[in-house]
Amino acid sequence: MTSSERRIVAIGFSPAALSVLQQLEQAGLLAAVRWPQGSADVTSQDSDLAGGEGRAPDRIHRIPDDSGAASASWLAQQWGSASAVVAVGACGLVTRLIAPLLGSKDQDPAVIVVDPLGQFAVPLLGGHLAGADQLSREIAALLGGQAVIGGSSGSLGRLALDAFGLAWGWRRGRGDWRELMLAIAVDRRPLLRQESGLVLWQGLEAIDGLLCPADHASGNSDPTGSESGHPNPVDNAASPALVIGPWLGEGCRWHPPCLWLGIGCERNTSLAVLERLIEKVLHQSSLAAEAVAGLASIDRKGDEPALLALAAARGWPLKLFSGDQLASVVVPNPSEAVAREMGTASVAEAAAWLAAVAAAPATGETDATRYLVTKTIESAGPGEQGAATLAVTLAPRQWAPQRGELHLVGSGPGRLDLLSGDARRILAAASVWVGYGPYLDLLEPLRRPDQLRRDGQLTEERARCSEALELAQQGLNVALISSGDSGIYGMAGLALELWLQLPAQDRPGFDVHPGLSALQLAAARAGAPLMHDFCTISLSDRLTPWEVIERRLRAAAEGDFVVALYNPRSRGRDWQLGRARELLLAGRPAGTPVVLARQLGRPEEQVSLHSLENLPIEQVDMLTLVLIGNSSSRVEAGRMVTPRGYPGAELA
């Protein structure tokens, strides 16, 4: 479940809960809140905080004195539509309130109890499947508290096999999940077979010693961990307890979204015909509906009412291809009649093939795509009209961008106490962290055994962005991590450009989360140098021509900006900083103060003050930020300050 699909409601039982509720509201987590009795100047209990963009909530609401009965009534109203309930109060009180509402573990929302000080988040109900364990971790990260995970899987750092697949973009299928979890609890190692979907999860620390591999599909060298040549389980004699693949059968089943349903139909075919055809084909082929990635057809069917209704009802994306695209596919069952009518000899088979191939465009794994069901026809029954054809392909890579999220996280200078609460929450929620190795090292104390780490090289920014985006397209929640602020000389721009190049239907969720930039921390260490207009300039000419950089330096000198120089000097670029000093000296005094800030926020941190004329260039490297004052900046008592106004200006 993506963050946009979650509907989290919260309730407090005393004025002491107000601070925690307000923090959760301000973080954008909550769809509705019942504020504690006696709270003023807070959002109305009926306000919908998640929707209604631009709609201001009602203010100043007080709950009547019969708050116990009113709270129970409010919870009952929210219970059926909420994915999670966050209660700020005592576990005993919450247990009594929710007891009459409990139905089944497959349908009840997650319930998390938080103490009024925000120190502990306790998953009271729905720890695994409903996501209470995970949400507790997110809330704890946001509040700076601790998640108290009581289940054996969470407390021992093991994968919860009955729930972990959701984090990998899969849907849970049939099986005796209780028996599987009991086997884990008594240290029995269930047998695993994986037939499709990402295999990267098999490298998690949380899986060590947990499972015995059976005849799972062999992975390839692709960085996103897809596989080719998936075996058919009918041909496998093993009887694993956990199976990951598209087929139905014995054992507990997780279903990656790897099946594509190609559909052709006559105009105005009844919805019942399409539904019956799909149900029949999936049943006869022992294929799980949960493994369907989407539907595919010819673009002329983009307005077909039944096809659109089917896609909406099942939550299956609909991919459309032109007649020329479909005609280029060699299919098992071409039709001359279809060719005369549609301009292609196949719709269902060709569309299913193209959709499966398009799911893995970066690697070209077309040889791994295969038909599981060739063209099957269904005609209208009594009271129905039209006819339809269906074909099913198995893609070499799972595809579910509607389930995936790509989060650009600014990790700040690296010190964990300088990491924002928002960034901590996103890191706690992500299935995969992608970033430059040394930056990930600084965050490593926050990573759990069930979260995958993917290290990249310093100069391979595009490769890191591509990998993170591809994983998010496959249905994962991915954190792409930059130092400082990802939107300031970080990964956000490149990631967004790649995201925008995708068709709208192929885009996962995309959000940028700010971090503390080197500029801000350097200014804080120096005093108050940024109290007037300032600019940042990178001296790296790897992506920007030097003549452009010189033009910007001249403009900064002429405009008398305070200037922060990023990427000031490296072994291969040892003259640019001297030239920058020369250009800036043309527009400001030789005694202009300069701050050299190196390894900010880390044990090796060094901050020193100099003049522009005597700037020690040889001390500067790529780990240094150079902060140069304007003509009115000065140093006093060991601190650099830039006045708010120039001489002659009056500060009101």
In the chain, where the domains are located: 8-150, 181-255, 262-394, 405-516, 519-641
| pLDDT value of position 215 | 52
| pLDDT value of position 62 | 42
Instruction: Please report which confidence band the pLDDT of residue 39 belongs to, taking 50, 70 and 90 as the band edges.
Output: low
Q: What is the pLDDT of residues 274-324, one digit of tens each?
A: 999 999 999 999 999 999 999 999 999 999 999 999 999 999 999 999 999
CA nearest to 230, candidates 217, 241, 219: 217
CA 269 to chain centre: 38
Average pLDDT score over the chain: 88
Q: Helix, strand or coil for residue 127?
A: coil
Beta bridge partners of 513: 409
- Assess contact for 643 and 531: CB atoms under 8 A: yes
| pLDDT value of position 297 | 98
Joined tokens for residue 412: 């700040």
| pLDDT value of position 46 | 44
| pLDDT value of position 408 | 98
**pLDDT over 80 (residue 231):** no
- Assess contact for 518 and 625: CB atoms under 8 A: yes
Length of the chain, please? 652
**Cα 566 from Cα 517, distance rounded (Å):** 11
Joined tokens for residue 294: 């989407």
**pLDDT over 50 (residue 49):** no
Is the Cα torsion angle 281, 282, 283, 285 positive or negative in sign? Answer: positive
CA nearest to 321, candidates 389, 378, 387, 264: 264
| pLDDT value of position 601 | 85
Q: What is the CATH number of domain 8-150?
A: 3.40.50.11220
| pLDDT value of position 43 | 45
Instruction: Please report which confidence band the pLDDT of residue 52 belongs to, taking 50, 70 and 90 as the band edges.
Output: very low
Q: What's the rounded mean pLDDT across residues 8-26? A: 94
| pLDDT value of position 155 | 63
**Cα 68 from Cα 475, distance rounded (Å):** 41
| pLDDT value of position 219 | 37
**pLDDT over 90 (residue 153):** no
| pLDDT value of position 229 | 39
**Cα 627 from Cα 276, distance rounded (Å):** 69
| pLDDT value of position 504 | 94
Percent of the chain with pLDDT over 70: 89
CATH topology of domain 519-641: 3.30.950
| pLDDT value of position 45 | 42
Q: Which CATH class is domain 405-516?
A: alpha beta
Give the Cα-Cα-Cα angle 622, 421, 492 (nearest 5 degrees).
45
Give the Cα-Cα-Cα angle 165, 297, 398 (nearest 5 degrees).
20
Lowest pLDDT segment from 51-60, 163-172, 237-246: 51-60
**pLDDT over 60 (residue 58):** no
Lowest pLDDT segment from 29-43, 578-592, 602-616: 29-43
| pLDDT value of position 647 | 73
| pLDDT value of position 367 | 59
- Assess contact for 249 and 232: CB atoms under 8 A: no
- Assess contact for 224 and 399: CB atoms under 8 A: no
Instruction: Please report which confidence band the pLDDT of residue 618 belongs to, taking 50, 70 and 90 as the band edges.
Output: very high
Q: What is the pLDDT of residues 576-593, one digit of tens each?
A: 999 999 999 998 999 999
Instruction: Please report which confidence band the pLDDT of residue 249 belongs to, taking 50, 70 and 90 as the band edges.
Output: very high
Joined tokens for residue 283: 């049943």
**pLDDT over 90 (residue 84):** yes
Helix (H) or strand (E) holding 440: helix 437-443
Instruction: Please report which confidence band the pLDDT of residue 517 belongs to, taking 50, 70 and 90 as the band edges.
Output: very high
Q: Which residues of 118-128 are buried (b: 16+ CB within 10 A; e: fewer)?
A: bebbbbbbbbb
Q: Which CATH architecture has domain 262-394?
A: 2-Layer Sandwich (3.30)
